[in-house]
Chain A
Amino acid sequence: MRGSWKTKLTSSLFVLPYFLCFAVFLLYPLVSGIVLSFQDYDMLGSREFIGLENYKNIFTPDTYNHDQFVRGLTGTFKFVVYSVPFLVIVGLALALLVNALSTRGRGLYRTIFFMPYAISATVMATIWMRVFDTDTGFLNILLDRLGFAGPHIGWLNDTPWVWIALVFCTIWWTVGFNMIIFINGLNEVPEELYEAARLDGANGWQRLIHITLPSIRNISTVVLIMTVIASFNVFAQPFLMTRGGPGYETTVLLMNIFAVAYGQHQGGAASAMAILLGLIMLVISTVIYRLLSGRRG
């Protein structure tokens, strides 16, 4: 018993670095963001408590803040709905493919597919703007060569193409991360299960449906929730590549939060929008988690 306070101290000290980082980079910004959302703050020094005014404005139709929020949220929702299924399914498909390779090939392809994840947003945008440009883009020139007559497709400024382009480059950019997590999940599925199934005459498809997918259920839930959160935070792709266009079709909420904060100098209103976005993400993540982990209980 004598050593117990020492043990406690030691373990506390081990937690301390994490706690400090948590406090500085998570807790403090979170709390000050919430406080800010109840203030009228011009980002330049003057601030004043105005209670729920910022939230009230966001929910008052035909106002600037309402428009920015609703339009931005609509764009963000569209992006989430269009991108998440592909990011999860393609991530899983790549993981299955890579895992089916020999050990040497596995390492190589894992690296290749993961590499784009390490590229910065501006580089990613520059590359894909060259591919998707209407008149000089690689894709439209390729279509010309293949004999597709007719006017060039506006991959970055015509619907539905603009969403296809944004989702495609997002998959290219970020799917490697999901793939890595899926690979780890797949590696934990006991080999005996597959052997037993093979003896019973199950084919590849049946093994996938009845063994692999149920076994990686937990990891799939994690991947799905992380992908949903990441997609809600979409900013760089539309901001750099489409500038929110055509019109405001691909204008996402983070772009508008930025415009309200630094364009309008309304830090409080922007903060309120960020908090609302956070709450929406929280609710959706919780619902997904409940739905997918329900049967396990």
Chain B
Amino acid sequence: MKRLKWLHFALAACLVLALTACGSGKSDSQSQTQDNNQTGSSNSSKPSDTSAPKGKTELVFWSPFSGPDGPFMKKIVDAYNEQSDSYQVKFQIQPNGDYYKLLDNAFGTKKNMPDLMIMHLDAIPTYAGKDLLQPMDDLAAKAGIKKEDYVEAAVNYATIDGKWWGIPLDIHPLIMYYNKDLFAEAGIEHPPTNREEFLEAAKKLTDPSKGQWGYAVPTLWPQQFIFPSLIYQQGADLVDAEGNPNLNSPEAVDALAFLKSLIFEHKVSPENVAQDGEVKLFLQGKNAIQFNGPWMKDQWDKAGINYGVAPVPVFFDQPGVFGGSHTFVVPKAQTDAAKLEGIGDFLKYVAGHSLDWAESGQAVASKQVLASPEFQQLTQQQTEVAKEFDYVHFAPPIPDWGSIVGELWTQVNLTLLGKAEPQQALDEAQKKALQAAEAKKQ
């Protein structure tokens, strides 16, 4: 009997541990978690107001802004609620790392659905493809929101089958940060704009005896932004014309070989850079150049580094950067006419008042704000970011693209650690990508 009890205990314990453990923890690294380094922050689900005053329609609004960006959006929402007589937006922040897990659970169980939510632009093909989102065309038309009010790249991407699925808030492309003090010491006057200038500067800035590097190459995140940028700069893409993965193109091999050469040939980067290692070096003033997203601004500011921001240099034939974008989407299940009208009203307001969001370091997608003198005065980072809007690319519009390129980041990692060659690594990534795409079809 005792043995039987043990069996029960063991069975229950291991199964439950296995099941619950996969429900906890943070979301996977492929999910464009942009506040990647804010692992500690978890001010989740803080409603800004407990309930709507009488006579006002309440709109529940979900966002993943659990990092330093949260208060900037709250400011916009509060100001909106202040001036609106008909609607009350209830702003809820979900933990960034768990955001899509929570969204999936809401979609899956159809419970606790928000009326309006932030979704990354490149997640729209997945969710629109599952018929879970509502086209924004009617809502926008009623509220007087026009496609031409926003940056084309984001609008075009969010337009699938002639319908507009998400209204953009911002675009966050890869940008270049550089340490102004180190540049001055090395006698470099301008941030590099092309491959030659970049290599020259990086070599001048490198001094292994001081543990100082021109450009420490990350081997994990944010390669998800860097490596595709180098492919776009050659006029190529990660998918072919039919939308099938095309990860081992000659352009992809060149891009990876270039990154590898920075470590092993030009030696402007240390070897074996660990996750966030290049960020730690940059924070200590031992890494002169850093390619990352605009969301890093807060960390640099807090560390008190004298840094500059510039567009990513053109390493190949044309400018091109990978980017993400926050957009507003409405779940398909939301059919309440009054609420839809309220959402339109709020989004119209945001389009005119997203300057507060730009203060967080982001460059917004609303042309009205981009052109405003107030935005033009935000010279520290935002205007540099906006310069890249003409040539920004987003992830291929393939549902669950993140899981198709899972192996790619593994292989990029191995290559940059010196454990694989670009061609074989990308052949392997391509093979696994096709398998992952195949698994989706079953």
CA distance A243 to B33 in the complex (A): 13
Report A252 CB to chain B, min CB distance, Å: 10
Chain A residues with CB under 8 A of B130: 42, 44-46, 265
CA distance A30 to B11 in the complex (A): 10
A30 touches B12 (CB 8 A): yes
Chain A residues with CB under 8 A of B16: 25-26, 29-30
- Encode B204-227 as 1/0 by CB contact (under 8 A) with A: 000000010000100111000000
A277 touches B104 (CB 8 A): no
Binds B, one of A9-17, A100-108, A207-215, A253-261: A253-261
A235 touches B10 (CB 8 A): no
Report B50 CB to chain A, min CB distance, Å: 28
Count B-side interface residues using an 8 Å CB cutoff.
71
Report B11 CB to chain A, min CB distance, Å: 5
CA distance A235 to B23 in the complex (A): 11
B47 at the interface (CB under 8 A from A): no
Listed residue (A46, A229, A278) with the most chain B CB atoms within 10 angstroms of its CB? A278
A274 touches B275 (CB 8 A): no
Report B128 CB to chain A, min CB distance, Å: 12
A126 at the interface (CB under 8 A from B): yes
A275 touches B108 (CB 8 A): no
Of the candidates A43, A57, A233, A261, which one forms a contact with B17 in the assembled complex, judged by CB atoms under 8 Å apart?
Answer: A233
CA distance A285 to B403 in the complex (A): 33
A248 touches B410 (CB 8 A): yes
Closest to B287 in A: A135
A78 at the interface (CB under 8 A from B): no
A244 touches B410 (CB 8 A): yes
- Encode A103-136 as 1/0 by CB contact (under 8 A) with B: 0000000000000000001110110011011111
Chain B residues with CB under 8 A of A30: 12, 15-16, 19
B242 at the interface (CB under 8 A from A): no
- Encode B381-407 as 1/0 by CB contact (under 8 A) with A: 000000000000000000010110010
A242 touches B14 (CB 8 A): no
Of the candidates A130, A133, A135, A247, which one forms a contact with B413 in the assembled complex, judged by CB atoms under 8 Å apart?
Answer: A247
Closest to A22 in B: B12
B413 touches A63 (CB 8 A): no
Report A145 CB to chain B, min CB distance, Å: 13
Question: Which range holds the interface residue count of chain A?
Answer: 35 or more
Report A190 CB to chain B, min CB distance, Å: 23
Report A112 CB to chain B, min CB distance, Å: 23
- Encode B422-442 as 1/0 by CB contact (under 8 A) with A: 000000000010011011101
Of the candidates B220, B270, B406, which one forms a contact with A134 in the assembled complex, judged by CB atoms under 8 Å apart?
Answer: B270
A262 touches B28 (CB 8 A): yes
- Encode A23-44 as 1/0 by CB contact (under 8 A) with B: 0011001100100000000111
Binds A, one of B278-286, B288-296, B315-323: B278-286
B400 touches A156 (CB 8 A): no
Closest to A158 in B: B272
Listed residue (B19, B130, B435) with the most chain A CB atoms within 10 angstroms of its CB? B19
Binds B, one of A147-155, A180-188, A193-201: A147-155
Within 8 A of A (CB), among B111-157: 126-127, 130, 132
CA distance A154 to B126 in the complex (A): 37
Closest to A165 in B: B274
CA distance A188 to B20 in the complex (A): 34
A64 touches B435 (CB 8 A): yes
CA distance A134 to B272 in the complex (A): 7
CA distance A256 to B108 in the complex (A): 21
A65 touches B439 (CB 8 A): yes
A154 touches B272 (CB 8 A): yes
A70 at the interface (CB under 8 A from B): no
Chain B residues with CB under 8 A of A244: 410
CB-CB under 8 A for A135 and B280, given A235-B21, A243-B220, A245-B220 = yes
B108 touches A43 (CB 8 A): yes
CB-CB under 8 A for A44 and B284, given A29-B19, A29-B20 = no
A156 touches B275 (CB 8 A): yes
Report A282 CB to chain B, min CB distance, Å: 5
CA distance A132 to B276 in the complex (A): 12
CA distance A151 to B6 in the complex (A): 50
CA distance A126 to B39 in the complex (A): 8
Chain A residues with CB under 8 A of B400: 263-265
Report B225 CB to chain A, min CB distance, Å: 15
CA distance A236 to B216 in the complex (A): 26
CA distance A184 to B435 in the complex (A): 52
Report B205 CB to chain A, min CB distance, Å: 15
A178 at the interface (CB under 8 A from B): no
CA distance A251 to B30 in the complex (A): 14
CA distance A178 to B156 in the complex (A): 57
B25 at the interface (CB under 8 A from A): yes
B403 touches A236 (CB 8 A): no
A258 touches B28 (CB 8 A): yes
CA distance A246 to B19 in the complex (A): 26
- Encode A271-282 as 1/0 by CB contact (under 8 A) with B: 000110110011
Report A242 CB to chain B, min CB distance, Å: 7
Chain A residues with CB under 8 A of B281: 135-136
A278 touches B30 (CB 8 A): no
B101 touches A262 (CB 8 A): yes
Of the A-B pairs whose beta carbons lie under 8 Å apart in the complex, a sample of 22, sorted by A's number, is A25-B16, A64-B438, A122-B26, A126-B39, A135-B216, A136-B281, A136-B284, A136-B286, A240-B39, A244-B410, A245-B410, A245-B417, A246-B413, A247-B410, A247-B411, A264-B436, A265-B130, A275-B15, A278-B11, A278-B18, A281-B18, A285-B10
Residues of A within 8 A of B (CB): 25-26, 29-30, 33, 42-46, 53, 57, 62-65, 67, 121-123, 125-126, 129-130, 132-137, 151-158, 225, 229-230, 232-233, 235-236, 239-248, 251, 254-255, 257-266, 269-270, 274-275, 277-278, 281-282, 285-286, 289
Given A134-B274, A278-B11, 6 additional A-B pairs, CB 8 A: A43-B108, A133-B274, A155-B274, A157-B272, A263-B402, A278-B15
When A and B form their complex, which 6 residue pairs have the shortest distance between CB atoms, in order from nearest?
A154-B272, A281-B14, A64-B439, A278-B15, A263-B403, A285-B10
